[in-house]
Structure formats: C-alpha cells, structure tokens
Structure 1
Amino acid sequence: MRLSVLLSLAIALPAGAQADTYITADRYLDVETGRYVDDPVIRVGEDGRIVSIGTDALPALGEADRRIDYPGMTLLPGFIDMHVHLDGPADIGGYRGLAFTDSFWPISAVHNGEAMLRLGFTTVRQVGSGQRADVGLKQAIEAGYVVGPRIIPAGYSLGATGGHCDSTFLPPSLEQEGKEEGMGDGPEELRHQVRRQRKYGAEVIKVCATGGVFSRNTEPGQPQLSVAELTAIADEAHQWGLRSAAHAHGAEGIRRAIAAGIDTIEHASLVDDEGIRMALRRERPVWFSMDIRNTDYTQAMGTSTGTLPDNLRKDREIAQAQRDNFRKAHEAGVRMVFASDVGVMPPSWVPGQFAVMVEYGMTPLEAIQAATKNGAQALGREADVGAIAVGRYADMVVVAGDPLVHIETVETAAGVLKGGVPVEEMVPWALQPKE
C-alpha cells in the first residue's frame, strides 16, 4: 500500500524561522496506558523531538513546516532491540569466518544496522563487538556518513580467560600474546576493563557470566565468574553511570549476576525458580533479555552456514528450555525486554520474534511494551526513546491493521521514522547534494 506523504517545504526559510514537522495518522499507541489515541497531530521540532501531541485539527502550516500523513495507519514507538551483534553476519558460522580479513566485520555492520532501522528498530544495544565496531558505527551514523539506528555500544565484552567471551577457537600459536581485550581474572582486572571500555566509548558494560552456545570448549550452564568479580563489574559500571549486561545461560551464573547487581540478564535460558525469585525481590530493577526466536534460524541454516556440530548440539539442548522459562519468568512478573541476538539470525528474522513472545505467554501489548517502554526503562533512557510522548525523539513505526489483535502486523513496517524523518529520505553525507 503506497502511503500519502504530504510535504510543505519552504524554498528559502526566513531568518530565524522554526521548521516543524507535523505527523498525522489514524491513531497511535500510547504504550504507557496501553490505549490507542485517535487522529493524532504530532508536532516535531528541528531537533527531532516531539514538541506536542494533539487531537485537534491540523494547524495552519507555516512556509517552513512540513506535514507527513499516514492515512489508515497506526503509529507505534520505534522498537528497541536490547541484544544485537551487528558486526556478526548470521550466514557465516564456525571457522568460515577465518576466510575474511579483520576489517570485514565492522564493514558488515553498516548494512545490518540500516536493515534493523528499516525494520522498525530505531534503537539497538550492541552487547559486545570486536575492534569496537559498535562505537565506530555509532559515530558514523551520528556524523551522517551512514544510515542506521541509535546505538548503545559496549565495546569489547568482558569475561574470564578461556570463557565464552574469550577467543576459544584457535591454538596458542595463532593467539596474540597476553590476554584478549576485555578479559580479566579477579575483581581488580575486571574493574580495569570496565574503565577501559568506557574510556573508548562504551555506554553499557557487557560481561559473560557463563559459558555459551557458539563458543568452543564452554557449556551454557557453566558459571565462569565469581560473585565478587561480577560485583566489581556492576559497581564500577554504576560508579561511571553505566548499566551492565550479563550473558548468563546457566542457573548458577544467573543467580550470581543478579546478586552482584547486574542490570540485565541476557539469554537467561536455564533460569531456576530461585533465580526468578531473586529477580523479583532485588531492590535495584533487573531485566531478563531473552532471545527466543533465533534457534529457528540456527537449526534450519546452521549446517549450511558452517556452524560446528557441537555448537548446534548446545543450541538444540537449551532452545525449548529457554522458551519455557521465558513463559515462567513472564508469568511470575519478571521485567522483560525485547532481545533478538541478531547476528545469530539475520535482521529479516527479527520482527518475527514478537509472535514467538506472544506464543509463549505475552499479550501483543506486552510484547510491544517489551520493545518500547521496558527497553527505555532498562537503558535509563526514558527521556529519549520508548514512547510517543512529548520530549522524546519522534521515532516511530507505521503499521497497517491492529497489532494489539494481530501481532504479526509489526513484521511488515509500512514506514519508519527516526527523529521525525522517514527512513527512506535519509541520505548518507557523501550522497547528499552539494551546493
């Protein structure tokens, strides 16, 4: 369905003129109340933030103003994906990655970032990347060199020597001298790594508290850091005003991360009843960030992408347990956010996770809230993103139909806006017309 985009632009703006954008549609979803607001008139300032929201008639437009109309459509807040790896193409698994030079990976992140934005994910949290590709991509997007979402970068992931976040696929003769970037043994080494990642651009600290699925010589249920080590990471991050995220599949590692004060628990696949109780009663909020769709991709495509049989074995073993524990945690009232682990599956598969979240216990509204207001709360970014509200960025997803009845409608965005600008109009600096 072709949308009607009505423009009113001045050829030359008067001195001091304020150019506002007015966005209209049939309705928008207020994710705070869970209700639709009909016939909105959303005024966006030049800084990309919402100035006002009304339901009266569209005011007379000034010569510098613009209207963007989405007739028959529903506006949702831009989605937040709390667990991405944009520099990890999903179709390259196992040792196939050794065929590519080091600089290939950050370059691949450019395409994945733009793809996520076009699918409606206007904010993403990159939980670890080699060569600080996430920091570089964030800077390139903000400088206008490439098109992509708002990025909360982590830099290098932290972890124990030989653990899931360490390099585990190569023999000693091919490894670098000394420890890999981000690795630490003992609280003080890991405090140093928190400071180092923040120094070079990290806005969240990612740590691997347990073994993982797609590493070698680790098991998902295996704890790899002590409570003292995790506490040092969380305390140091909080001292610098940063949130922390722990990769934690196993029950013991999850309990340790919660006890240590880590803010989000990534995967949470094998969480037990005590881990759920701890999450519910901890004074500082803790969020579960559970990627419950990507196993469909890895089990279907893993052999062809080069993923090793042992990694596919681990993936199979925890897949259903993670989905069942997602249902259990949600029913118990644990705070939940949307997390895809894109990089394990391609961006095109990510919107389909909403339906899986509904299949495993959430209402459509709860699934949308996980990807909007909950994500903003977990990031500490409620002043910026996560809702269509005055003062926040005009990041929106345009959908046809009623996503509160048919969650599948979010899988095909009819339009996406970032800061009040339609994504299809975003042009990298190098392609912009020059005077």
Structure 2
Amino acid sequence: MKIRVFLSLFMFSAVLQAQTLVLKADAMLDVNSGQLIANTLVLIKGNRIHQIGSQGEFSVPADAKVIELSGQTLLPGLMDMHVHLNSDARLHGYKRLAQSLPRKTLTGVTNARKTIENGFTTVRNVGAPGYADIALRDAIAEGELTGPRIFAAGMSLGITGGHCDNNLLPYEYKDKAAAVADGPWQVREKVRMNVKYGADWIKFCATGGVLSKGTKVGAQQFSQQEMDALVDEANLRGIGVAAHAHGLNGIKTAIRAGVTSVEHASFLDDEAINMALEKGTYLSMDIYTTEYILGEGEKAGILEESLAKERLVGGKQRQSFRNAVNAGVKMVFGSDAGVYPHGHNARQFSRMVKYGMTPIQAIQAATINSATMLRQQDKLGSLEQGKLADIIAVPGNPLKDIALLEKVSWVFKEGVLIKSP
C-alpha cells in the first residue's frame, strides 16, 4: 500500500512538472508588506512564478493544471539558516564517535527529506564532516535526491581544543578535526581548502560551545588578527562567513572582523547590539534548542557538562533575542536542527513570537531576510513574479496562529510537487 501511494505521488509530481500550474488558494501572504491577499491565483511556468493575482484578475491558460487549495494560505518556501543535516539528534557526545562518515552522509539523505517535507525549501548547512553536506547539496541539485536547496559551509574552522575540534578522546589517539587552524596563515589555508572542495559559506567557531567537551561557552576562540584574516580570505572569494559565538567578547570580535552572521549570540549587551546594527550583521539565534537539550539530551548522550552549560545559556540567550529584536537588528531564522530532530524546525516560530517578534517578523526572518542574507533575494524569499516557485501552504492564517507553520500541507520546490495532503 505504501509503495502504491509513493508511486502515485511520484507520477502526480511528474505530471505537474510537465504542465503549466495554477494554484488556487484562499489567501497568500505577501511577506514584504505583511498583508494577506485573498482568493489568490498563482500561475507557474517551468520552475518560476509567472503571474500572481486575485481570482478573476487573469485568465487561466487552457492547458494549465489547476490545483484547488481550499482553506489554505500560500507562503514562500521557508528558509533555515542554521542546520546540520548530517547530524543525528539521537546521538550526542561519545555516541557520535561510533558513526562513520558514510553513515553520516546517509543520515543527511533522510534529514533532507524530512526538512523539505516540513516546508523548508532552502537551508544553510553550517558544518559537516568530510564535506558530506556538499555531496548532499550536489545530489539534490542534480535531482538524485529529494531535499531543500543547500548552501553548504563544509567543515567548520576552529582552534586546537576549541568548540570545532574533536575533544572526546585522550591524547594518544591524536584526534584532531580536519579544519582546525592556529594563526592567521593557517586560517587562510583552511578557508582556501573549504573553497577548493565546494563550500558556499565559511563557518567558524569564535567562542566555546554548549555541546563540546572542555570548552567554556563564553570564552573567545581565535584572536582579532585570526578572525580578520579568515573574513578577509572569504571576502576575496566572494563568500559569506558565519561565526558561532555565544560569549560577548567573541561576538564583538567577530562583528569587528566583518562576519555576515553571528550564530547563537547568547550573551549580548547594548554595545554588541549597536555594533550589529552599525555593521549590518545578521543574528541567527536558535532559541528552541533549550527544550530538547534539557528534556531529551541526557538520553541522547549529551554530557552533563553540556547540560550545565545549557542551563546557563538558555535563559540569557532568549533575553538577548528579545533585546536584539526590540533594537531592530537584522534577524534570520536559524534553528540548529541536528541538535534536535530534523523536521521539527518550525517549532521555533512560536518561541520567536513568545520572546518578542510579531508573527510577520518571525516569518520574514525565515523568508525574505534569509534570502537577502544569502544574496538570493532576486530568486527566493517571497512570492513574486519571476522568482523560483518555492511555495508552501498551511491550513489557515499563520499571522493569527504561528503554530500553523508546524502543519505544512503542501510543498512545491521550483514548481515541483514535493508534498500534498
């Protein structure tokens, strides 16, 4: 029975790819204005949106396949700017030592499908071993696998013994992460290595982290000189930089260096917020992960040391989020999926609203803001003529109930049907 259902959806998708599509829905959300457009028609030709209007404003082509989405609101495909598709949320700490690189690569295949089926058609993957995320990106782009569009960072840069190093094994194993770099020229070499193997972005660890052994979550990693060299090298290659940074000094040093985004940004003060405003730095703050880490983390193998750090960080990060939102800092949606199960990304929306955003601000963070940060705003992030037809539908008005984004019923990526009820 499951095979027949899968084949039926596959054949339906194939038909939709071959035809002009018209989506007929109760409403569409214009993420730029924050307004709902009632009784919407969206005409799709090929992989792009050809025309949008209210029903009756334009005629439906005779050869078009019309899909009735009664009771549904259309939105742009959602975008998550901080995921780890090759990570299994059930395996943390020492449990992850048992996973081989091929196994992690296959884990990414499963997680990619879960991610797109829950409405996220674009992600930024900020760190994976052995360039597994780049292989996954390319397989999806070539149509071999189903998943979101991936902007991949390859291997995360870190210092010896820092958050992006491997610190679980004793000295005699000589275990060291492949992208560890100490000193400005080593940092440049690792950036060049990532670019050589296909990275779209560079991600580095500017401070200690919650889930690493032996790092202080607020302690700065990399000097100003090292961060300056890292960002300069990435800029020479025309690619953006994401800085993992919980601690205040690391956040400020990363902003001074000119990073595109600060991930987590847990310990903000007024100066750091003003620096982000002045520099135009984006913040990507994963304010949902606390529930999973403290609720399920021990069972998943998260170390007691890490649980203690999360108890320290979680509340402060949410207050920092509220302060940054109130100040008008540019924000993107970043969930850190992989710490918790993939496919649950949208659960963060309700936390974003609870801690200071309006529903439209939270949706904009996951659509037009993320597209702009990626420099893809001409193709992605909103439903407009000429943009790629990444479209989702939810059963109702998400401006009134943000939790509806956890109930995505239809997903199209570049005009191809990925999910239907």
What TM-score comes out, normalization by structure 2 length? 0.93
102-111 or 242-251, which deviates more: 102-111
Deviation at 1:60, TM superposition (A): 4.3
Conserved 8 A contact 1:87-1:133: yes
**1:358-397 alignment runs, 5 A limit:** 358-397=353-392
Measured against aligned partners, the alpha-carbon deviations of 1:273-295 in whole angstroms (never above 9, x if no partner) come to 2111111112xx21000000011
Question: Partners of 2:148 and 2:108 in 1: how far apart?
Answer: 12
**1:153-168 alignment runs, 5 A limit:** 153-168=152-167
- Tell me the equivalent position of 1:138: 137
1:41–1:314: structure 2 CA closer, same or farther, 3 Å change rule? same
What TM-score comes out, normalization by structure 1 length? 0.90
Conserved 8 A contact 2:42-2:49: yes
- Tell me the equivalent position of 1:335: 330
- Tell me the equivalent position of 1:223: 220
Deviation at 1:112, TM superposition (A): 0.7
- Tell me the equivalent position of 1:409: 404
Letter in 2 for 1:32: N
Deviation at 1:19, TM superposition (A): 3.9
1:192–1:19: structure 2 CA closer, same or farther, 3 Å change rule? same
Question: Partners of 1:246 and 1:252 in 2: how far apart?
Answer: 12
Question: Partners of 1:224 and 1:293 in 2: how far apart?
Answer: 25
Letter in 2 for 1:131: G
261-270 or 392-401, which deviates more: 392-401
- Tell me the equivalent position of 2:104: 105
1:60–1:397: structure 2 CA closer, same or farther, 3 Å change rule? closer
- Tell me the equivalent position of 2:339: 344
- Tell me the equivalent position of 2:198: 201
- Which SS does the other structure have where 1:40 is aligned? strand
166-175 or 114-123, which deviates more: 166-175
**1:152-301 alignment runs, 5 A limit:** 152-176=151-175, 180-282=177-279, 285-301=280-296
- Tell me the equivalent position of 2:118: 119
Question: Partners of 1:189 and 1:236 in 2: how far apart?
Answer: 11
Letter in 2 for 1:374: N
33-42 or 151-160, which deviates more: 33-42
Conserved 8 A contact 1:8-1:66: no
Structure 2: state its 5+ residue gaps: 1-8
Measured against aligned partners, the alpha-carbon deviations of 1:240-286 in whole angstroms (never above 9, x if no partner) come to 1111100000000000000000000000001122111111112xx21
Decide which of 321, 325, 346 is 1:326's aligned counterpart.
Answer: 321
Question: Partners of 2:12 and 2:395 in 1: how far apart?
Answer: 25
Deviation at 1:9, TM superposition (A): 11
List, as ranges, runs of 4+ consecutive aligned residues in structure 1 with deviation greater than 6 Å: 7-11
- Which SS does the other structure have where 1:423 is aligned? strand
Identity rate of aligned residues, in percent?
Answer: 43
- Which SS does the other structure have where 2:377 is aligned? coil
- Tell me the equivalent position of 2:93: 94
Letter in 2 for 1:268: A
Conserved 8 A contact 2:22-2:60: no
Question: Partners of 2:342 and 2:87 in 1: how far apart?
Answer: 11
Question: Partners of 1:310 and 1:29 in 2: how far apart?
Answer: 44
- Tell me the equivalent position of 1:429: none
Question: Partners of 2:75 and 2:211 in 1: how far apart?
Answer: 34
Deviation at 1:68, TM superposition (A): 2.1
RMSD over aligned CA atoms reads 2.0
- Tell me the equivalent position of 2:3: none
Deviation at 1:301, TM superposition (A): 0.7
- Tell me the equivalent position of 1:81: 80
Question: Partners of 2:320 and 2:119 in 1: how far apart?
Answer: 27
Measured against aligned partners, the alpha-carbon deviations of 1:287-340 in whole angstroms (never above 9, x if no partner) come to 000000011011111111111110111111100000111001110111111110
Measured against aligned partners, the alpha-carbon deviations of 1:195-224 in whole angstroms (never above 9, x if no partner) come to 111111100110100010111110110001
154-163 or 257-266, which deviates more: 154-163
Conserved 8 A contact 2:40-2:52: yes
Aligned residues: 409
Structure 1: state its 5+ residue gaps: 426-435
Conserved 8 A contact 1:8-1:67: no
Question: Partners of 2:387 and 2:351 in 1: how far apart?
Answer: 29
Measured against aligned partners, the alpha-carbon deviations of 1:93-122 in whole angstroms (never above 9, x if no partner) come to 111122333321111111111101011110
Question: Partners of 2:127 and 2:251 in 1: how far apart?
Answer: 19
Conserved 8 A contact 1:80-1:371: yes
Conserved 8 A contact 2:13-2:418: no
Deviation at 1:20, TM superposition (A): 2.0
Deviation at 1:59, TM superposition (A): 2.6
**1:5-44 alignment runs, 5 A limit:** 19-44=19-44
- Tell me the equivalent position of 2:298: 303
Measured against aligned partners, the alpha-carbon deviations of 1:183-205 in whole angstroms (never above 9, x if no partner) come to 21111211121111111110011
Deviation at 1:10, TM superposition (A): 11
Question: Partners of 1:411 and 1:102 in 2: how far apart?
Answer: 31
Question: Partners of 2:52 and 2:220 in 1: how far apart?
Answer: 49
1:365–1:10: structure 2 CA closer, same or farther, 3 Å change rule? closer
- Tell me the equivalent position of 1:431: none
415-424 or 292-301, which deviates more: 415-424
Deviation at 1:374, TM superposition (A): 0.6
Measured against aligned partners, the alpha-carbon deviations of 1:322-371 in whole angstroms (never above 9, x if no partner) come to 01110011101111111100011112432111000000010011100110
- Which SS does the other structure have where 1:276 is aligned? helix
